[in-house]
């Protein structure tokens, strides 16, 4: 048995039976990181010393019987979630030396549950990108084939789990940034309902779309992680005061009789949909039908406008959120200038990478006098229509199935000069962010080149439970989640 | 072109970004393409549709106005690129 290959629930059993200690488990993770990190590039910061202290403490709690589902379990954290005392860079030069003075609410929760922070994970700068090529430090490589992208923006979060460098991680999803890399790396990734998980301490990209969520090796672990991070937080006024169910209760392998699966007709003939993805996802739908679910055709009539609406709203919010990086309160400052305005401009131009600057300009333009109505207001109206599309769809189904990404992972460098093509590949994921509904990616097969393909399950607001139930039944009926990348 | 070089330069100024000639050219082309694509929104009839601002309908989240935890000054300044006497230092603003 290799300790780094364990899931959270497998490690839990061994820890509780005292067959292993958290120190051994955590050391096993760092040994694995030592072996393969150079090839994958998933970590920006490895926090081994602190992690070993946390593990020692966890072992004492285990002996004392003070155990949660996560006591003594090492986790990787996307590098835009503030970790007190551990550098948090957003994969940007502008925050290269930023050490948060406080913990994000999700970190407070994980720390209180006895989880261990193994390190901070690589990503597209400020979560802007779908390939992880926009990290200011280094690209992440897909563990299934190192020439390929892992997806993004939570590429390090997905690749670290797929490469067994941590049993689970946290990512963030603004337009697909958890689900798409999960799909490309063959792991389970959940974007919760907007407001389910506190965003306090998550460095903001687009505040009305961002959500933190888990990436794990199987569905059981994703339910365990959802239990740990969900819930209302007075420090995030958009978090929703609503009870959190025990998501592990949804993991009943009792078939799917009575469940209605919606298949959006607009998704079927989407231009650019790879035949391998279409076939693999089609087979997954058949498997779910065989488990007793009934499929119904649904319509999401404004699908064709989702990408356009998103690429107005997200950059507009980003341009406003990123105004705080001005070289005064934290982060990099260009010290060559004695004039305030020039200091701002040089700091930001040297500190932000090209994709971030592109989106700031796009967003500022969309919000500027004379263009606001044509762009931001119109996009927000279309967002309302997309939300009502989903509201109508969920009147006739419990969950919606679709591909996550139109193609399997592509080669590093293949698309990075063409921002629009990259944006268009978010077509199946970003509607869930616009509508605020939960969505997840679940391994459902492989391309002819051996790259993982994910199935997307979307649920109604706050109905992660049904989503997890469908995912768990599918997982128990298949063995895609057992396959591991060889490195 | 959908967005001129002059417009890119103006918007970059509003966004406090310094752009050299090469970057302006590149951005004008790329952002122009994106805006052309965004123009498909014109096809949607949304005249009477209320714009969405959030994904979940929420009213204001109020709390009691009570003293709580706060970050002390030294800690708040710990990431400042330049500080002096418990304050952030910026280049001279008033000439």
pLDDT at A34 over 70: yes
Q: Cα separations (Å) of B65 from A78, A186, A200, A262, B68?
A: 34, 47, 19, 46, 9
When mean pLDDT is compared across A288-302, A317-331, A391-405, B51-65, the lowest value belongs to B51-65
Q: CA-CA distance, A72 to A214, in Å (whole number)? A: 17
Q: Cα separations (Å) of A91 from A155, A238, A381, A456?
A: 11, 26, 33, 27
CATH numbers and ranges of domains, chain A? 3-258+397-482 (3.90.1300.10)
Cβ distance B17 to A361 less than 8 Å, yes or no, reads yes
Query: pLDDT tens across A137-151, in order?
Result: 999 999 999 999 999
Angle A347-A350-A354 from CA coordinates, rounded to 5°: 125
| Average pLDDT score over residue span A97-116 | 98
Cβ distance B52 to A361 less than 8 Å, yes or no, reads no
Q: Is A279 helix (H, G, I), strand (E, B) or coil?
A: helix
Q: CA-CA distance, A392 to A377, in Å (whole number)? A: 23
Q: CA-CA distance, A195 to A108, in Å (whole number)? A: 17
Q: Phi and psi of A340, rounded to 5°? A: -60, -50
Compare all CA atoms of chain B with the CA of A435 and give the residue at the minimum distance: B55
Cβ distance A308 to B18 less than 8 Å, yes or no, reads no
pLDDT value, residue B2: 85
Among the listed residues A279, A217, A285, A288, the one whose alpha carbon sits nearest the alpha carbon of residue A447: A279
pLDDT value, residue A337: 83
pLDDT at A416 over 80: no
DSSP-assigned states of every residue in A204-223: PSSTTT-EEEEEESSHHHHH
* Residue in A238, A323, A377 nearest the CB of B58: A238
| Average pLDDT score over residue span B49-64 | 86
Contact (Cβ atoms closer than 8 angstroms) between residue A386 and residue A309 = yes
Q: Hey, what are A468's tokens? A: 């997890």
- The pTM for the full model equals 0.97
Among the listed residues A237, A248, A226, the one whose alpha carbon sits nearest the alpha carbon of residue A106: A226
Query: pLDDT tens across A160-211, in order?
Result: 999 999 999 999 999 999 999 999 999 999 999 999 999 999 999 999 999 9
pLDDT band at B59 (very low <50, low <70, confident <90, very high): confident
Cβ distance A345 to B71 less than 8 Å, yes or no, reads no
pLDDT at A212 over 80: yes
Q: CA-CA distance, A134 to A356, in Å (whole number)? A: 9
> Would you say the C-alpha torsion A474, A478, A481, A482 has a positive or negative sign?
positive
Cβ distance A307 to B63 less than 8 Å, yes or no, reads no
In this structure, how many other beta carbons lie within 10 angstroms of the beta carbon of residue A239? 23
Compare all CA atoms of chain B with the CA of A319 and give the residue at the minimum distance: B15
pLDDT value, residue A415: 85
Q: What secondary structure letter does DSSP report for A172? A: E
CATH no. of B5-41: 1.10.20
Query: pLDDT tens across A360-405, in order?
Result: 999 999 999 889 999 999 999 999 999 999 999 999 999 999 999 9
pLDDT at A431 over 90: yes
Among the listed residues A147, A144, A151, A122, the one whose alpha carbon sits nearest the alpha carbon of residue A135: A122
How many residue contacts between A and B have a Cβ separation below 8 Å? 177
Please provide the distance, in angstroms rounded to a whole number, between the alpha carbons at the two ends of chain B.
Answer: 41
pLDDT value, residue A421: 85
B66 and chain A in contact, CB less than 8 A: no
| Average pLDDT score over residue span A223-230 | 98
Contact (Cβ atoms closer than 8 angstroms) between residue A207 and residue B54 = no
pLDDT value, residue B95: 67
Contacts of B35 in chain A (CB under 8 A): 362, 365
pLDDT at A35 over 90: yes
Q: What secondary structure letter does DSSP report for A391? A: H
Query: pLDDT tens across A70-101, in order?
Result: 999 999 999 999 999 999 999 999 999 999 99
pLDDT band at B57 (very low <50, low <70, confident <90, very high): confident
Contacts of A275 (CB under 8 A, 6+ apart): none
Contact (Cβ atoms closer than 8 angstroms) between residue A377 and residue B51 = yes
Domain boundaries, chain B: 5-41
A336 and chain B in contact, CB less than 8 A: no
Higher per-residue pLDDT: A469 or A369: A469
Global ipTM:
0.95
pLDDT band at B1 (very low <50, low <70, confident <90, very high): low
Place of tokens 């955590």: A26
| Average pLDDT score over residue span A236-250 | 96
Contacts of A313 (CB under 8 A, 6+ apart): A206, A208, A209, A376, A379, A380, A383, A434
Cβ distance B3 to A364 less than 8 Å, yes or no, reads no
Residues 394-433 of A with CB under 8 A from B: 419-420, 423, 433
Give the full edge-to-edge strand order of the sheet including A439-446: A43-46, A116-121, A74-78, A168-173, A211-216, A188-191, A439-446, A452-459, A399-403, A260-264, A294-298
pLDDT band at A263 (very low <50, low <70, confident <90, very high): very high
pLDDT value, residue A142: 98
pLDDT value, residue A131: 96
Give the mean pLDDT of chain B: 92
Among the listed residues A219, A260, A282, A263, the one whose alpha carbon sits nearest the alpha carbon of residue A401: A263
Q: Which long-range contacts (CB under 8 A, 24 or more apart) does A304-307 make?
A: A304/A266, A304/B40, A305/A382, A305/A385, A305/A386, A305/B40, A305/B41, A305/B43, A305/B44, A306/A386, A306/A427, A306/A430, A306/A431, A306/A434, A307/A423, A307/A424, A307/A426, A307/A427, A307/A430, A307/B37
Question: How many angstroms separate the CA of residue B60 from the nearest CA in chain A?
Answer: 8
Give the mean pLDDT of chain A: 97
């Amino acid at each position: 048995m290799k300790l780094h290959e364990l899931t959270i629930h497998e490690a839990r059993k061994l820890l509780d039976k005292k067959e292993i200690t958290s120190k051994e488990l955590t050391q096993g993770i760092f040994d694995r990181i030592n072996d393969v990190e150079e090839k994958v590039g998933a970590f920006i910061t490895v926090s081994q010393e602190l992690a070993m202290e946390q593990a020692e403490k966890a072992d004492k709690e285990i002996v004392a019987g003070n155990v949660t589902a996560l006591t003594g379990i090492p986790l990787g954290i996307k590098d835009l979630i503030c970790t007190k005392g551990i550098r948090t860079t957003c994969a940007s030069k502008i925050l290269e030396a930023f050490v948060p003075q406080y913990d994000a609410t999700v970190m407070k929760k994980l720390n209180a549950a006895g989880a261990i922070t193994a390190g901070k994970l690589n990503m597209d700068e400020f979560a802007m990108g779908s390939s992880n090529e926009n990290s200011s430090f280094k690209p992440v490589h897909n563990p299934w084939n190192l020439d390929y992208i892992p997806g993004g923006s939570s590429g390090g979060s997905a690749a670290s789990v797929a490469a067994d460098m941590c049993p689970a991680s946290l990512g963030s999803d603004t337009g697909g940034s958890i689900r798409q890399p999960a799909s490309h790396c063959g792991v389970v990734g959940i974007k919760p309902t907007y407001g389910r998980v506190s965003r306090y301490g998550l460095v903001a990209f687009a505040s009305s779309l961002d959500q933190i969520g888990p990436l794990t090796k199987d569905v059981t672990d994703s339910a365990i992680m959802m239990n740990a991070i969900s819930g209302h937080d007075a420090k995030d006024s958009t978090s929703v005061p609503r009870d959190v169910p025990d998501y592990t209760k949804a993991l009943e392998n009792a078939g799917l009789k009575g469940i209605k699966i919606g298949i959006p007709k607009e998704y079927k003939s989407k231009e650019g949909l790879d035949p391998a993805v279409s076939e693999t996802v089609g087979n997954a739908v058949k498997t779910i039908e065989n488990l007793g679910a009934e499929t119904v055709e649904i319509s999401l009539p404004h699908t064709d406008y989702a990408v356009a609406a998103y690429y107005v709203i997200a950059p507009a919010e980003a341009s406003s959120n990123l105004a705080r990086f001005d070289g005064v309160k934290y982060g990099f400052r260009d010290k060559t200038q004695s004039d305030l305005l020039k200091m701002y401009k040089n700091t930001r131009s040297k500190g932000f990478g090209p994709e971030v600057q592109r989106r700031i300009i796009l967003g500022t333009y969309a919000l500027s006098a004379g263009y606001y109505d044509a762009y931001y207001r119109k996009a927000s109206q279309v967002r309302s229509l997309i939300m009502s599309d989903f509201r109508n769809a969920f009147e006739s189904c419990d969950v919606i199935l679709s591909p996550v990404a139109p193609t399997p992972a592509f080669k590093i460098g293949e698309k990075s000069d063409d921002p629009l093509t990259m944006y268009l590949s978010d077509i199946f994921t970003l509607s869930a962010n616009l509508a605020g509904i939960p969505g997840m990616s679940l391994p459902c097969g492989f391309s002819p080149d051996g790259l993982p393909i994910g199935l997307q399950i979307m649920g109604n607001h706050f109905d992660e439970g049904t989503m997890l139930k469908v995912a768990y039944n599918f997982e128990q009926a298949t063995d895609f989640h057992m396959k591991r990348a060889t490195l | 072109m959908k967005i001129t070089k002059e417009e890119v330069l103006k918007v970059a100024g509003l966004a406090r970004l310094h752009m050299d000639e090469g970057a302006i050219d590149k951005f004008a082309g790329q952002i122009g393409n994106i805006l052309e694509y965004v123009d498909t929104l014109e096809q949607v009839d949304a005249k009477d549709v209320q714009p969405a601002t959030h994904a979940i309908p929420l009213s204001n989240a109020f709390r009691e106005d009570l003293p709580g935890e706060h970050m002390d000054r030294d800690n708040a300044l710990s990431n400042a690129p330049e500080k002096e006497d418990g304050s952030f230092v910026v280049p001279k603003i008033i000439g």
